[in-house]
């Protein structure tokens, strides 16, 4: 289905949110982390990016250079919308040719539609007709232009029948296209290409609008001879056999599907129903049947976990189909590489990844290839979610650290491009870093809001397509505040924070004052990352975890604890994608260049809590006061003889010195720091 209203992606404006200092006492110590090695499917490419594709594909690719092209915006026609594909296909193995008839149901989006253009590569049409009338057409390059015999106004629908044949192409140096594989004997269409730009590969085997922004439904009929089974999208409606013994498998997908998610696989398959879940059938090459039970043992648990997180599986059936190349999230019929049929659950991460795609990528497709992280980053994060369901929080963190963060950080020197419109679509920035972005968003939002946002995004855009701005909007609905700052720094810019941190403590009566310091010094991406960060302050037999809001190049955070600190851990649960190093002395590098400065309160407007940041180059006497528009003093937030140098935050809860909630409206906050006076405005909205 074609998407008509396409929002722009998030504006680059930075919106800060509430800076909070949260203290939770006595969190239990974490279990020691196991070390998991990055799996063998990671391979460093020529540019330093890590290609994440199965072994068989790497063998096929050889040692070519990685592509470096950015995507052009996906273009779907404004004048018409394909509603349905009816494909009759006969792959002829003896000649490696494909004979096809495609009947496209098309709806006009304009008044006076006189023709359509479709994508079709290398295959040659012999006739095009509408209701029995021959239509004139031309094929130039990959574009097929068809003149209609009558005009259609908005909403008018018609069906055109295209008879075509030829030798289907495969992508040069990549894995996409239509294949006649000799070992194991399989006729197979792979929906995306490695090098093609855009990567959609529907045009390699049928005519259509080959872009993710135009989804449709489909009926696919595949002829086979001998003991072969054809597997495709949706439900198997019928298998008929003619007088010569040729079979036709009819598959029907009544849900919207993008052309790159359509696929057929023809081979000597055994259909193995899952005994635990009647929705699931495995189509396995006959000689791989002994490995099927062990390989797919955890699939019902995977399905149950994702359904518990994201709602019922959205389609009529689910299959893994063994194919010589994979793995690929073809809708309802995931292609699973024969090379990964180990007979064990060793490749559960890949199975989970492709199953997660059925919600993220298939149910909600990205509108445009520049947004491919909405599919691949989410599917990669799905791997960690499945591990969490199997191994708990510690297993989840191990997976994020070793399988998502490590492959990115290990090559981060060359992986400086953003997740949005990436230089390379199939690498670590989109997959692993994209997954880590969701991990960090979960930290920012909290579990309840995060998973509610994931579900809200799915519900709003089900069976359609979306862009990052749509996902951001779903998150902001649950979060209750702008997340533009988060998406700006993590999606639309490259890099990651490079952090020096430190701590020191001094006794203070019965307590200890702890100063926690952060200096950011990354050369790539935002000069300053804004993120919540945990410090774990450890004493004898006790500890405290403090969450600070990192939002300046140089910051120190004062904390008071009731025990003598013996050590401090920065980001102990590894929520943040960063390079962090402990420096044993105070924060010396990036002292403020002005004696004192007052910053904008965050958030603003606010209700009921905001925080006022200020910076001191040297210790100073400081007062922070709130005034109404008439200049009357409303509240004294701070009046201290000496405040340490560094960055500080003062919260205000909208309450006056008399303990009363003040009314909505504009207020002014004034800082007097040594010789410096600064005043700023803020807006309380009740
Ligand atoms: Zn994927």
Q: Same domain, yes or no, for 2 and 50?
A: yes
Ligand 1 centre to CA of 435 (Å) is: 11
Ligand 1 centre to CA of 332 (Å) is: 14
Pairing of strands 80-92, 216-224: parallel
Residues 448, 71: contact at Cβ < 8 Å? no
Which of 129-152 are b and which e, b meaning 16 or more Cβ less than 10 Å from the residue's Cβ?
Answer: bbeeeebebebeeeebebebeeeb
The answer to whether residue 326 sits within a structural domain is no
525: domain CATH number?
A: 2.60.40.1840
Instruction: Say how far apart CA 519 and CA 586 lie, in whole Å.
Output: 10
Dihedral of alpha carbons 405, 410, 413, 414, sign: negative
Ligand 1 centre to CA of 42 (Å) is: 14
Ligand 1 centre to CA of 212 (Å) is: 15
What pLDDT, on the 0 to 100 scale, is given for residue 63?
Answer: 30
Ligand 1 centre to CA of 380 (Å) is: 7
Ligand 1 centre to CA of 55 (Å) is: 15
Q: Same domain, yes or no, for 512 and 487?
A: no
What pLDDT, on the 0 to 100 scale, is given for residue 677?
Answer: 67
Ligand 1 centre to CA of 217 (Å) is: 22
Final residue in a domain of this structure, among 453, 473, 494: 494
Pairing of strands 265-267, 229-231: antiparallel
Ligand 1 centre to CA of 118 (Å) is: 27
Q: Same domain, yes or no, for 566 and 516?
A: yes
Question: Which residue, 383, 390, 394, is CA-closest to 35?
Answer: 394
The answer to whether residue 537 sits within a structural domain is yes
The model's pTM is: 0.77
Ligand 1 centre to CA of 331 (Å) is: 12
The answer to whether residue 282 sits within a structural domain is no
Q: Same domain, yes or no, for 41 and 173?
A: no
Pairing of strands 143-152, 113-119: antiparallel
What pLDDT, on the 0 to 100 scale, is given for residue 452?
Answer: 98
Ligand 1 centre to CA of 213 (Å) is: 18
Ligand 1 centre to CA of 633 (Å) is: 58
Residues 616, 665: contact at Cβ < 8 Å? no
Ligand 1 centre to CA of 354 (Å) is: 6
Ligand 1 centre to CA of 361 (Å) is: 8
Q: Same domain, yes or no, for 84 and 215?
A: yes
Question: Which residue, 585, 365, 375, 576, is CA-closest to 489?
Answer: 576
Is the bond preceding 520 in cis, omega lying within 30 degrees of 0? no
Ligand 1 centre to CA of 352 (Å) is: 10
3-state secondary structure of 63: coil
Final residue in a domain of this structure, among 526, 550, 582: 582
Ligand 1 centre to CA of 611 (Å) is: 41
Ligand 1 centre to CA of 167 (Å) is: 28
The dihedrals phi and psi of 306, each to the nearest 5 degrees, come to -65, -35
What pLDDT, on the 0 to 100 scale, is given for residue 32?
Answer: 27
Q: Which residues of the chain have pLDDT under 70?
A: 1-74, 585-594, 600-605, 629-631, 675-680
Alpha-carbon 273 to chain mean position: 31
Q: Same domain, yes or no, for 455 and 508?
A: no
Q: Same domain, yes or no, for 558 and 638?
A: no
Instruction: Say how far apart CA 379 and CA 464 lie, in whole Å.
Output: 17
Q: In Å, how far are 181, 339, 627 from 283, measured between CA atoms?
A: 17, 15, 71
The answer to whether residue 328 sits within a structural domain is no
Domains: count for the chain: 4
185: domain CATH number?
A: 2.60.40.1730
The answer to whether residue 521 sits within a structural domain is yes
351: domain CATH number?
A: 1.10.390.10
The answer to whether residue 255 sits within a structural domain is yes
Alpha-carbon 615 to chain mean position: 36
Q: Same domain, yes or no, for 675 and 642?
A: yes
DSSP element (H, E) containing 469: helix 468-479
Ligand 1 centre to CA of 307 (Å) is: 18
Ligand 1 centre to CA of 308 (Å) is: 21
Ligand 1 centre to CA of 107 (Å) is: 31
Q: Which regions of 338-489 does DSSP assign to beta strands (E)?
A: 364-366, 464-466
DSSP states of 318-361: EEEEEESS--B--TTEEEEEGGG--SSGGGHHHHHHHHHHTTBT
Q: Same domain, yes or no, for 346 and 205?
A: no
The answer to whether residue 327 sits within a structural domain is no
The answer to whether residue 265 sits within a structural domain is no
What pLDDT, on the 0 to 100 scale, is given for residue 604?
Answer: 65
- For 619, the domain range is 596-684
Q: Same domain, yes or no, for 504 and 477?
A: no
Ligand 1 centre to CA of 559 (Å) is: 43
């Amino acid at each position: 289905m074609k998407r008509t209203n396409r929002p722009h992606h998030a504006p680059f404006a930075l919106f800060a949110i509430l800076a909070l200092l949260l203290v939770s006492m006595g969190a239990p110590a974490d279990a020691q982390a196991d070390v998991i090695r990055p799996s063998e499917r990671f391979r460093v490419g020529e540019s330093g990016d890590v290609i994440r594709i199965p072994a068989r594909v790497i063998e096929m690719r050889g040692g070519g250079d990685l592509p470096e092209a950015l995507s052009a915006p996906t273009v779907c026609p404004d004048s018409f919308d394909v509603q349905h594909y009816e494909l009759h296909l006969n792959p002829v193995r003896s000649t490696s040719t494909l004979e096809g008839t495609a009947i496209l149901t098309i709806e006009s989006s304009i008044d006076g539609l006189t023709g359509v253009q479709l994508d079709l590569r290398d295959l040659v049409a012999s006739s095009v007709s509408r209701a029995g009338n021959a239509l004139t057409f031309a094929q130039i390059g990959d574009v097929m232009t068809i003149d209609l015999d009558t005009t259609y106004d908005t909403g008018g629908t018609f069906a055109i029948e295209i008879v075509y044949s030829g030798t289907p192409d495969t992508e040069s140096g990549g894995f996409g296209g239509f294949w006649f594989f000799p070992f194991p004997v399989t006729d197979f269409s792979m929906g995306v290409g490695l090098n093609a730009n855009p990567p959609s590969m529907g045009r390699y085997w049928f005519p259509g609008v080959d872009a993710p922004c135009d989804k449709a439904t489909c009926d696919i009929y595949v002829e086979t001879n001998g003991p072969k089974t054809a597997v495709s999208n949706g439900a198997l409606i019928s298998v008929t056999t003619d007088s010569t013994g040729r079979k036709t498998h009819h598959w029907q997908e009544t849900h919207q599907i993008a052309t790159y998610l359509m696929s057929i696989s023809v081979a000597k398959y055994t259909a193995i129903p899952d005994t635990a879940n009647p929705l699931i059938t495995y189509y396995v090459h006959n000689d791989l049947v002994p490995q099927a039970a062990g390989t797919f043992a955890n699939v019902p648990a995977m399905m149950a976990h994702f359904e518990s997180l994201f709602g019922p599986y959205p389609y009529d059936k689910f299959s893994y189909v063994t194919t010589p190349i994979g793995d690929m999230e073809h809708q309802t019929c995931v292609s699973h590489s024969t090379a990964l049929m180990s007979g064990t659950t060793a490749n559960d991460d890949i199975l989970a990844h492709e199953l997660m795609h059925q919600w993220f990528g298939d149910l909600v497709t990205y509108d445009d290839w520049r947004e491919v992280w909405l599919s691949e980053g989410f599917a990669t994060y799905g791997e960690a979610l499945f591990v969490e369901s199997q191994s708990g929080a510690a297993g989840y963190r191990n997976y994020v650290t070793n399988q998502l963060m490590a492959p990115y950080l290990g090559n981060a020197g060359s992986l400086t491009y953003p997740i949005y419109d990436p230089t390379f679509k199939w690498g670590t920035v989109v997959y692993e870093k994209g997954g880590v972005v969701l991990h960090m968003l979960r930290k920012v939002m909290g579990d309840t809001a995060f998973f509610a946002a994931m579900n809200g995004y799915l519900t709003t855009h089900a069976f359609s397509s979306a862009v990052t701005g749509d996902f951001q909007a779903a998150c902001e609905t649950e979060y209750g505040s702008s997340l533009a700052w988060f998406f700006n720094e993590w999606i639309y810019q490259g890099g990651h924070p490079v952090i020096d941190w430190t701590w020191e403590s001094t006794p203070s009566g019965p307590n200890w004052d702890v100063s926690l310091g952060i200096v950011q010094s990354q050369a790539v991406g935002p000069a300053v990352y804004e993120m919540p960060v945990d410090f774990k302050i450890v004493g004898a037999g006790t500890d405290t975890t403090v969450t600070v809001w990192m939002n300046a190049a140089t910051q120190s955070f004062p904390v008071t604890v009731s025990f003598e600190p013996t050590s401090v851990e920065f980001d102990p649960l590894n929520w943040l994608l960063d390079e962090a190093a402990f420096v044993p002395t105070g924060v010396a590098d990036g002292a403020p260049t002005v004696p004192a400065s007052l910053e904008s309160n965050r958030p603003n407007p606010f209700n009921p809590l905001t925080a006022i940041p200020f910076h001191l180059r040297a210790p100073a006497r400081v007062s922070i006061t709130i005034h109404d528009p008439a200049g009357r003093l409303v509240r004294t937030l701070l009046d201290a003889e000496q405040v340490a140098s560094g960055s500080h935050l003062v919260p205000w809860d909208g309450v006056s010195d008399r303990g009363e909630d003040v009314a909505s409206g504009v207020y002014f906050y004034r800082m007097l720091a040594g010789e410096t006076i600064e005043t700023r405005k803020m807006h309380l909205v009740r």
